[in-house]
Structure 1
Amino acid sequence: MPGREHVHSLASLIEDLKPAFTAMSDEIWDFAELKFDEHRSSQCLIGMLEKNGFRVRRNVAEMETAFIGESGSGKPVIAFLGEFDALAGMSQVAGIAEPQPAVPGGTGHGCGHNLLGVGSLLAAVALARYLAEKGLPGTVRYYGCPGEEGGSGKTFMVRAGAFDDVDAALTWHPAPFNGVRSTNNLAVLEYYYRFKGVAAHASNSAHLGRSALDAVELMNVGVNFLREHMPQDCRVHYAITDTGGRAANVVQARAEVLYLIRAPEMPQAMALAERVEKVARGAATMTETEVEVVFDTASTNLLPNLTLESAMHDTMVALGPVPFDEEDLAFAQAIQNTFTEEAIQSSIRLYQVKTDAFSNRMVDGSTPLHLGLRAFEGQSHFRAGSTDVGDVSWVTPTAQCWAPAWAIGTNPHTWQVVAQGRSPAAHKAMIHAAKTLAATGLSLFTSEDLRQQATAEWREKTRGKPYVCPIPPHVRPKRF
């Protein structure tokens, strides 16, 4: 990796850029746009790219809010991944430690993507400036990736070949902890099961009806029995998205349920999806209804790259801890007071945080913010989530880190995340992540050996397992 003087030169450059990027993060928090409708958010990011001399390609992979910004030329090509979509029903007033929607039923950044997208952009802009100043060759790319929340935007970009010439990709995510993320996430497939029956009066002519809602309920019961007979690390969960109406005295002629089917690897997920479909067709047979199976979207399991993760960890050691102050700790404590002790300890286990890399002491959650750095064990861990970063990792070496934007105990997709999304502590975590990504990116530009080792590991892990995009060619991105 570059010497500490180069790391700190990049960090100093990022400090100079901090005010404008912090303001942009708050602006995107305010927009809180849902998947594939992030028009203001994407334009905000594109404007900053163009202001800093990046060449921008819009409408990538037939997605209006997907774009790529590029600076420099030639090899290597290093990608920085940015997300900027929000979640439905997650509206929350910022800066308070109690649930209070800003707009009842409105949207909110319940996963911190306002920070994620801007932090990655800051890293790309700072690194591009540094390379230009030093006269170093290579291409910095920023990928504006829409629809991570249930849209698999990166998967569509991978399918379109947007990453085919990338030598390595870097990203980060807000979290309760500081450190490198090395996890084996789950592959996921999403399907709608749409049942069609026959309407009838539920009292005087029920025998003429064929209930689509009965079919949905029977399918859900059948899948619940299936859980006992599927591999331990698989996950299947659902939401009934259409009950066929609110009238109880009508035999519902339509009903729909959405299933997410997860497994450690995509072939396992596909096999499990076949079993779930058999349950759906069995429910249709029992109720004499029809069922249509509609593919929605999918993401492949994450392929960790320990070579890149180790380099990223070394960078974080050189940077030191995030510089939180007493006001940051006080607000985090107020947020943490909304959690049980069980939730706090569960958060530590979920993120596999055991010891601190600076002090080698056990991490017990005694402080509301993570003031250290997660130790890097040099191995990956199982985590039962999914991300479309997984598809990128199958076509180029990929690494990501965490930065402690949230109080310890905070779970993603909660009002507590939204409340912390534009706090001074979250801004500091975002800046810290940008410094980490930029310095790790510089390592990739200046060390051919690092690039070769990362590529060799990636080739070894993908040998005999060619990437097959889980989204069929005819499927297009779907808005809410």
Structure 2
Amino acid sequence: MKNDERVWRAVDERKEDYAAFSDRVWEMPEIAYTEQRSVAEHIAMLEKEGARIERDLAGIPTAVMGEWGEGGPVIAILGEYDALPGLSQEAGIAEPKPVEGQGGAGHGCGHNLLGAASLLAAAAVKDWLRENNIPGRVRYYGCPAEEGGAAKGFMARDGVFDDVDIAISWHPASFSGVNEAVSLANTRIDFTFHGKSSHAAAAPELGRSALDAVELMNVGVNYMREHMPDHARIHYAMLDGGGIAPNVVQSRAKVRYLIRARDLPELNSLVARVKKIAEGAALMTETRVETSVVSAVSNLLGNAPLEKAMYDNFLRLGPPQWDEADREYAAQIQGTLTEADIAAAHRRHGLKVEPGKTLCDIIVPLENRGEGGVGSTDVGDVSWAVPTVQARGATCAIGTPFHSWQLTAQGKSPHAHKGMVHVAKVMAGTAVDAIRDPALIERAKAEFKERTGGKPYESPLPKDLAPPIKAMGQGV
């Protein structure tokens, strides 16, 4: 039996347990830095698999690492398990219907699948190492707060990945293939304006409105949008409007800005401009502004040798296999989508639209380049610390928007489980290839050194910034 088939067999032996594991995490959606129950499920599975466990990585209570093996190269497989606010949804249906008692959160980005598949892959590699008596270590990193909390950034800044040789991860998607290493660096910054309260009718001249300052800042940033690079993005959310009494001049108001750019130098330039606008708004309103960084992530750095190795595993395995029930439910989900949703999913993977196709039946060619919007991920920081590769695993109906009720609804479906198992095999096979071929790791490291110029990783996070654990529930 070939090496990849042996490790794939180890995946198949566990697939029912890990599908149930993924479903349990789906049923307890917890947003950034609140994932106590979800990480407990991951720790229980690590214990069942006999891992050596380290908790509280980088001072984060919901971050965990499990390791197996001895000596040899260190292969990291990264998982996530945080949910999103406002995306509670019943599973297995094709209409919006929140689940009562879940607190409004839901797995609208598929992270219940993400963590389960990564841990499944790591456990399979553990079996392969033991069966073949080969030196090497495989680690599962349970990483919380990908949705805006930048947990991997804090972990990378604190050296959690320093002795790792290569890192492997994945993300749910409409199509299967190697993830194109394109993402936007970003930072979240809170701007708090301090003014002076007064009676808004009897003595408005005595007040200085912090809310006016926020609104003027927003206007200024909106004018700035005309003069930014096309791929840059800026979003904002009001955290504190100054109270509910319109007859009191608001003495304090707070807005959170999310600023995205192609790379860190470009991001830093945009941040400087946004800060000037905030200072201008404070000047115009005779208020005072304080800034506080919440989180920040780097853009993704690709690695061609690892991407080729992962692609070869995709080709050896072939696309996921679906049955008619899978296609029928996917068609129901597609019935809630627009043609634009479906077209966007194809463009994102450099594919032409095929009308009537509900689930992925191909491996996206490695050379394909996507079109359309680009998001951000804290995997970017890991990719600047160690050579990193990511897969895309088909787990949803083609066209499903992420961060949507439709994605949450499919999180426990048979086709999501099949996609999860499929991509676990790809990650496990890639890890095995790296362990049995030291030259692959050396090529990956050589390209990594060339792309980084041999410079050590520099975190975009301020050195004294702690993980925003206390900002729980505030859109971190």
Scaled by the length of structure 1, the TM-score of the pair is 0.95
Q: CA deviation at 1:449?
A: 1.4
Tell me the equivalent position of 2:267: 269
CA distance in structure 2 between the partners assigned to 1:433 and 1:157 by the alignment = 25
CA distance in structure 2 between the partners assigned to 1:79 and 1:7 by the alignment = 18
Q: CA deviation at 1:287?
A: 0.5
Alpha-carbon contact 1:182-1:381 (below 8 Å) kept: no
| Alignment map for 1:86-165 (pairs within 5 Å) | 86-103=83-100, 106-165=104-163
Post-superposition Cα deviations, 1:151-180, rounded to whole Å, max 9, x if no partner, equal 111011111111111110001101111111
Tell me the equivalent position of 1:358: none
| Alignment map for 1:64-463 (pairs within 5 Å) | 64-103=61-100, 106-349=104-347, 351-354=348-351, 362-377=352-367, 384-463=374-453
Alpha-carbon contact 2:349-2:370 (below 8 Å) kept: no
Q: CA deviation at 1:365?
A: 4.9
Post-superposition Cα deviations, 1:270-296, rounded to whole Å, max 9, x if no partner, equal 121011000001000100111110110
SS of aligned partner of 1:24: helix
Alpha-carbon contact 2:344-2:372 (below 8 Å) kept: no
Within the candidate set 49, 52, 58, 1:55 is matched to: 52
Q: CA deviation at 1:231?
A: 2.1
Alpha-carbon contact 2:177-2:363 (below 8 Å) kept: yes
Within the candidate set 21, 30, 33, 1:33 is matched to: 30
Bigger Cα displacement from structure 2, 196-205 vs 426-435: 196-205
Post-superposition Cα deviations, 1:202-251, rounded to whole Å, max 9, x if no partner, equal 22211111111110010000011111122222111111111112222221
Percent identity, please. 49
Tell me the equivalent position of 1:5: 2
SS of aligned partner of 1:449: helix
CA distance in structure 2 between the partners assigned to 1:365 and 1:242 by the alignment = 46
CA distance in structure 2 between the partners assigned to 1:477 and 1:332 by the alignment = 38
- How many residues were matched structurally? 469
CA distance in structure 2 between the partners assigned to 1:455 and 1:378 by the alignment = 24
Alpha-carbon contact 2:350-2:368 (below 8 Å) kept: no
CA distance in structure 2 between the partners assigned to 1:197 and 1:103 by the alignment = 41
SS of aligned partner of 2:27: helix
Alpha-carbon contact 2:7-2:127 (below 8 Å) kept: no
CA distance in structure 2 between the partners assigned to 1:430 and 1:199 by the alignment = 55
CA distance in structure 1 between the partners assigned to 2:369 and 2:209 by the alignment = 51
Taking structure 1 as reference, are residues 194 and 172 closer, same or farther at Cα in structure 2, changes over 3 Å only? same
Taking structure 1 as reference, are residues 16 and 347 closer, same or farther at Cα in structure 2, changes over 3 Å only? same
Taking structure 1 as reference, are residues 304 and 410 closer, same or farther at Cα in structure 2, changes over 3 Å only? same
Contiguous gaps of at least 5 residues in structure 1: 355-361
Alpha-carbon contact 1:183-1:381 (below 8 Å) kept: no
CA distance in structure 1 between the partners assigned to 2:176 and 2:454 by the alignment = 34
Alpha-carbon contact 1:236-1:259 (below 8 Å) kept: yes
RMSD: 1.5
Taking structure 1 as reference, are residues 135 and 464 closer, same or farther at Cα in structure 2, changes over 3 Å only? closer
Post-superposition Cα deviations, 1:272-327, rounded to whole Å, max 9, x if no partner, equal 10110000010001001111101100000100112111111110111111111111
SS of aligned partner of 2:435: helix
Which amino acid counterpart does residue 272 of structure 2 have in structure 1?
A: E
Bigger Cα displacement from structure 2, 278-287 vs 455-464: 455-464
Bigger Cα displacement from structure 2, 458-467 vs 436-445: 458-467
CA distance in structure 2 between the partners assigned to 1:48 and 1:412 by the alignment = 27
SS of aligned partner of 2:300: coil
Post-superposition Cα deviations, 1:108-132, rounded to whole Å, max 9, x if no partner, equal 1111000000100000001111111
CA distance in structure 2 between the partners assigned to 1:300 and 1:382 by the alignment = 20
